[in-house]
């Protein structure tokens, strides 16, 4: 038996940050990530990034992750579990309301899964009280900064980016074989209708062979830098 890490070893709220003005909520998913990454990849990416943001910004409170999202486009692979968009909306909305009532008016939704589209609507309707991070430009800029040459669109799922973050944050969860798992499928216009299975048999769309732990580390660092613009707007001094 091994209970060594059922959750983040330290969440910032136990360190006196419960009265922060801004909280960080990682939102992930439970969905296939090819033969080499775990189903929890998106949650791990979101949690690792949120931890980095909390480390760099001592005034921010780190919350535990929401571990299920909207992953219906991966439903044809075993292991994927989804909740509906209204349910995810209710969950994040309730967390924000509870925080607000307790004195934390601002919430950053740190999203690890592109399919959680409804989060954009929730943040958009918050009247300036929420941010959704990272945005597409933040990911692209951080890729470059970390020495990746792949793009969001081509390296979209279980590719260089996600594998690099896992190699950095949870190398024990990356299975061997990722070096030979590259698969590309540039135009995936029908994905919402057909699911991703039309475009990949393995579940990979991207180039995991290019992944390194260093790139994962540098990507997170670059995102931390990019985050400062969000924070300045969300909670101006």
Binding residues among 204-233 for a copy of itself as defined by CB under 8 A: 220, 229-230, 233
Which of 113, 157, 168, 183 binds a copy of itself (CB under 8 A)? It is 168
Q: Among the candidate windows 45-53, 144-152, 176-184, 205-213, which touches a copy of itself by CB under 8 A?
A: 45-53
Please state, in angstroms and rounded to a whole number, the distance separating the CA atoms of residues 43 and 31: 10
User: Would you state the structure tokens that stand for residue 164, as one six-digit string?
Assistant: 């690099």
Q: Among the candidate windows 41-49, 143-151, 154-162, 200-208, which touches a copy of itself by CB under 8 A?
A: 41-49
Chain residues 91-130 in contact with a copy of itself, contact rule CB under 8 A: 91, 94-95, 98-99, 101-102, 115-118, 120-128, 130
Nearest residue (CB) to a copy of itself, 222 versus 234: 234
Torsion region of 109: left, alpha or beta (phi above 0 gives left; psi -120 to 50 gives alpha): beta
Q: Does 1 bind a copy of itself (CB under 8 A)?
A: yes
CB atoms within 10 A of CB 78: 7
Which of 22, 30, 174, 223 binds a copy of itself (CB under 8 A)? It is 30
SS3 22: strand
> Dihedral angle at the C-alpha atoms of 93, 98, 102, 107, nearest 10 degrees?
-20
**Cβ partners under 8 Å of residue 149, min gap 6:** 143, 210
Instruction: For the CB of residue 217, give the shortest distance to a copy of itself in the complex, in Å.
Output: 8
């Amino acid at each position: 038996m091994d209970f060594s890490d059922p959750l983040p070893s330290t969440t910032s709220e136990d360190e006196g940050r419960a009265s922060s003005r801004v909280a960080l909520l990682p939102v992930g998913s439970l969905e296939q990530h090819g033969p080499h990454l775990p189903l929890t990849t998106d949650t791990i990416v979101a949690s690792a990034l949120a931890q980095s943001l909390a480390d760099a910004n001592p005034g921010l409170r780190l919350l535990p992750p929401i571990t299920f999202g909207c992953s219906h486009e991966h439903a044809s692979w075993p292991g994927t579990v989804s909740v509906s968009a209204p349910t995810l909306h209710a969950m994040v909305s309730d967390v924000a309301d509870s925080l607000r009532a307790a004195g934390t008016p601002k919430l950053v939704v740190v999203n690890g899964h592109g399919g959680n589209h409804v989060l954009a609507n929730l943040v958009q309707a918050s009247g300036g009280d929420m941010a959704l991070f990272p945005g597409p430009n933040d990911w692209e800029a951080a890729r470059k900064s970390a020495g990746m040459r792949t793009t969001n669109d081509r390296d979209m799922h279980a590719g260089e980016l996600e594998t690099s973050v896992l190699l950095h944050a949870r190398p024990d969860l990356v299975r061997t074989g990722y070096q030979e798992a590259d698969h590309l499928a540039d135009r995936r216009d029908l994905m919402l209708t057909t699911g991703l299975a039309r475009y990949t048999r393995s579940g990979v769309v991207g180039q995991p062979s290019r992944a390194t732990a260093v790139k994962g580390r540098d990507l997170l660092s670059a995102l931390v830098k990019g985050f400062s613009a969000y924070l300045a707007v969300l909670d101006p001094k």
